[in-house]
Structure 1
Amino acid sequence: MRITLVTVGKIKERYLKDAIAEYSKRLGKYCKLEIIEVADEKTPENASATVEDMIRQKEGERILKYIKEDAYVVALAIDGQMLSSEKLAEKIKLLGIQGTSHIAFIIGGSIGLSQEVLSRAHYQLSFSKMTFPHQLMRVILLEQVYRSYRIITGEPYHK
């Protein structure tokens, strides 16, 4: 299985880079992982809804350039469906059984994803109704994908 993360913005913090590197290494046993970073747009303080829409649009165009036709696209969205770790593992396993060989997870920038990206997604996944920094979501997502593969293979994982 190929797993692609398409994310907005660069990671600057060393501790997040280290965590991403660790989970990327662990995932190498289970899948081929690719992380693609697209440039983020600066969001001015007190930006209007129109300006925020323009920013999401620009970031969305960058994201969509990296979405392959064969990819099953999962957009991380606060209004998406929440799953337990076991249900996410079940979803990944079922996609593989059904012949999907490529899953692309999309993490938007600080103001979310454009409607075009959300429309391209086959599934919208929410980790919480809370807001998390999009940089931290990379670590959380990678950990959950790693946990999913541990569950799928029947290996122990922390409950």
Structure 2
Amino acid sequence: MRLLILAVGRLKAGPERELCDRYVDRARKGGRALGFTGPDIVEISESAARRPADRMVEEGAGLLAALPEETAVLALDPGGVALSSEQIAGDMAALRDRGVRTFSFLIGGADGLSNEARERADRLIAFGTATFPHQLVRVMLAEQIYRATTILSGHPYHKA
């Protein structure tokens, strides 16, 4: 199953990009034996619209346009449910075992996801109740995908 991260904005060179790349690389290596490819990252341009609502609509349209035709979608949203790392791993494994070809993760811009993007999601999740910069959320998601591969493979990285 292909793992795909669609994120609004570009991570510039620096510690966030390096850390994200490290977790993506680890997830790719660990995921191969589990039947996963990727995660691949698609960066959607940030909108230059003046109003936040307009930015969300434009960015949401970009995210939706970049989604593969047939994909399961998990979107990160402050109104979503908090899942444990084991639950994320379980979701990934269940989708893979059902023959889902692609599992896409959506990360909105600084203003969040559009209503259309949230409605397209099969599940909305949140990394707790705190607010995080969307660039940092990408790092956190990459780490959770890597952690899921370690949980599914029985690797000791996840010590819960």
In the TM superposition, 1:9-158 aligns within 5 A as: 9-29=9-29, 30=31, 31-33=36-38, 34-42=40-48, 51-158=51-158
CA distance in structure 1 between the partners assigned to 2:86 and 2:49 by the alignment: 36
User: Unaligned stretches of 5+ in structure 2?
Assistant: none
Q: CA deviation at 1:103?
A: 0.5
Q: Give distance in 1, aligned partners of 2:5 and 2:63.
A: 10
Q: Structure 1 CA distance, aligned partners of 2:134 and 2:41?
A: 14
CA contact (8 A) 2:79 2:126 kept: yes
Aligned partners of 1:135, 1:13: CA distance in 2, in Å? Answer: 12
Equivalent residue letter for 2:138:
R
The answer (yes or no) to whether the contact 2:89–2:148 under 8 Å persists in 1 is: yes
Divergent runs of 4+, >6 A: none
Query: TM-score, length-normalised on structure 2?
Result: 0.90
How many Å separate the matches in 1 of 2:78 and 2:117? 14
1:64 positional shift:
0.9
Contact 2:151/2:158, CA 8 A, preserved across alignment: no
Helix, strand or coil for the counterpart of 1:74? strand
Single out whichever of 127-136 and 88-97 deviates more from structure 2.
Answer: 88-97
Instruction: Write the distance in 1 (CA, Å) between the matches of 2:150 and 2:88.
Output: 12
Paired with 2:20 and 2:48, the residues of 1 have a C-alpha distance of: 24
Q: How many residue pairs get matched? A: 153
Displacement of 1:113 after TM fit? Answer: 0.4
Instruction: Tell me the distance in 2 between the aligned counterparts of 1:32 and 1:93.
Output: 13
In structure 1, distance between residues paired with 2:104 and 2:120: 11
Report the RMSD for the aligned CA atoms in angstroms: 1.3
Question: How big is each residue's C-alpha offset from its partner over 1:58-115, in whole Å with a ceiling of 9 and x where there is no partner?
Answer: 1111111111121101110011111111111111111111221210000000010000
Displacement, 1:125?
A: 1.0
